[in-house]
Amino acid sequence: MNILVIPEDFRKDGYILEPLLQRLLSELGRPRSRVRILRDPLLGGVGEALKSSRIREIVDRNQGMVDIFLLCVDRDGIATRQQRLDDIEREFDGPVHFLATNAWEEIETWALAGLALPKNWQWRDIRTEANVKEAYFEPFSQLRGTIDGPGGGRKALGEEASRNIQAIRQKCPEDFDRLAKRIELLL
């Protein structure tokens, strides 16, 4: 099983998405599956990632080498973001397996869900924060001393969080767990 993850910006999100999805596949009984993060082209933001023409180019170029395409972006406080992703997903209904999802509110939320957080942090506050990166992830990375590492600490913290997939599924039911269930149906 080969999954190509299409993030809005691989330079940071890839450090979290790759270990989380690789571990998820292992826990779903597919440890030999390969998760690859799209690095070319660099979409560079959610605006480009939501352009059907850009996604079509990526799918056309990789079709036949990929079992599941996964477009994964931040929600960024935009309540209708998943609707747009559902529309894009319908455009690819057919010969390829194409899933599109958004993290609630940012990909970094998924990593935080799998980590032991400071006792004075409330999960409901993190879940409702539109700017999780700035309000929680970066301060946590600074606190843990990973901020100067690859992806601003995302590599180390993403790998650590991947060891707690069940916690992420439990704390992020609307997005990560929903995606996990959808992937499982395709396996």
Mean pLDDT of 103-112: 96
Sign of CA dihedral 87, 43, 19, 107: negative
pLDDT at 93: 79
Please, which residues bridge with residue 5 across strands? Answer: 37, 70
- Both tokens of 116, joined, read 């032991």
* Whether pLDDT at 115 is above 80: yes
Per-residue pLDDT band for 168 (boundaries 50, 70, 90) equals very high
Determine the average pLDDT of the residues in 100-123.
96
Q: How many domains does the chain have?
A: 1
Compute the average pLDDT of residues 122-136: 96
- 77 has a pLDDT exceeding 80: yes
Domain that holds residue 54: 2-186
Residue 140: predicted pLDDT: 98
What average pLDDT is seen over the chain? Answer: 96
Burial class (CB in 10 A: 0-12, 13-18, 19+), 117: middle
In this structure, of 30-44, 90-104, 105-119, 152-166, the range with the lowest mean pLDDT score is 90-104
Encoded tokens for 111 = 């990593």
Query: Which CATH number fits the domain that encloses residue 102?
Result: 3.40.50
Per-residue pLDDT band for 133 (boundaries 50, 70, 90) equals: very high
Tell how far CA 87 is from the center of its chain. Answer: 19
For the CA atoms of 123, 128, 134, 137, the dihedral, rounded to the nearest 10 degrees, stands at: 30
Sign of CA dihedral 79, 104, 19, 171: negative
